[in-house]
Amino acid sequence: MGPVLILLGPPGAGKGTQARILEEDFGLVQLSTGDLLRAAVAAGTAAGAQARAVMEAGGLVSDAIVLAILRDRMAQPDVAKGVVLDGFPRTEVQAAALDALLAEAGARVTGAISLEVDDAAMVARIAGRYTCAACGEGYHDDFKLPAVAGTCDKCGGTAFKRRADDKAETVRERLAAYHAQTAPLISYYDGKGVLERIDAMGPIDGIRQTLAAVVAQVAA
């Protein structure tokens, strides 16, 4: 299978934004467990019903639920092009399960890219963000407005949405969960020799270029 890239970083670091860009620039498939879980909640599946309260509180959904959802998605044929994982893995159990799943396909993690940001800036960054309800393109009140107010640049949609868990108090819980459970994965991937760190505090386009150079190198 194609490259398997992981984007690591706290909520608001730009994982989703950059994953969508990598999809465009490198033909990879973006795989976001947050998006898959929100879809399960919206569809009212049993897993979605269990995940909902945990997500609203800013905690981590159980490894069992997340891994079941990820395995289903990884079984689809488009994944062979290569994937950029955004928001997964978030625990060491998930990281080990991913290694095992990839090993079955004779693959392994190509690169884990840590988007390094200041925590203090993340609450403000998250508070201003929203997405197109039709195509999911991301926008921000301060950093990325649509070219024509109220109209999505990508698809022309005119309805936008904000995430229920992007409230300041929930964001603080999500940051705490990140530091307690996900940040240790930085050393996990460093130990495997696949870690790359990039400064992700600047403008979206600058980060896109830095990331493109790193991806071109690791995926070569």
Catalytic residue among 20, 38, 73, 90, which? Answer: 90
CA distances 3 to 56, 61, 111, Å, are: 33, 26, 8
Please tell me whether residue 10 binds ligand AMP under the rule CB under 6 A: no
Neighbouring C-beta atoms of residue 198, cutoff 10 Å: 18
In 3D space, the residue among 112, 55, 63 whose CA is nearest the CA of residue 91 turns out to be 63
Please tell me whether residue 82 binds ligand AMP under the rule CB under 6 A: no
73 is catalytic: no
Q: What percentage of the chain's residues is helix, strand, coil (to nearest 5)?
A: 50, 15, 30
27 close to 84: Cβ distance less than 8 angstroms:
no
Count the residues in the chain.
220
Please tell me whether residue 90 binds ligand AMP under the rule CB under 6 A: yes
Q: Name the strand (E) or helix (H) holding 56.
A: helix 46-57
The interface mask with ligand AMP, positions 131-170, x = CB under 6 A, is: ----------------------------------x-----
Closest approach, Cβ 36 to ligand AMP, in A, equals 8
Residue 161, Cβ density class (10 Å: 0-12 exposed, 13-18 middle, ≥19 buried): exposed
Please tell me whether residue 60 binds ligand AMP under the rule CB under 6 A: yes
Which of 13, 31, 41, 66 binds ligand AMP (CB under 6 A)? It is 66
CA atoms within 13 A on the CB side of 114: 18
Q: Which stretch binds ligand AMP (CB under 6 A): 72-80, 87-95, 104-112, 190-198?
A: 87-95
129 is catalytic: yes
Q: Select 17 or 94, whichever has its Cβ closest to ligand AMP.
A: 94
81 is catalytic: no
The Cα–Cα gap between 184 and 90 comes to 9
Catalytic residue among 108, 154, 162, 192, which? Answer: 162
Q: Select 40 or 211, whichever has its Cβ closest to ligand AMP.
A: 40
Closest approach, Cβ 94 to ligand AMP, in A, equals 6
- Residues annotated as catalytic are 15, 90, 129, 162, 174
Q: Which residues bind ligand AMP (CB under 6 A)?
A: 11, 33-34, 37, 54-55, 58-61, 66, 87-90, 94, 165, 174
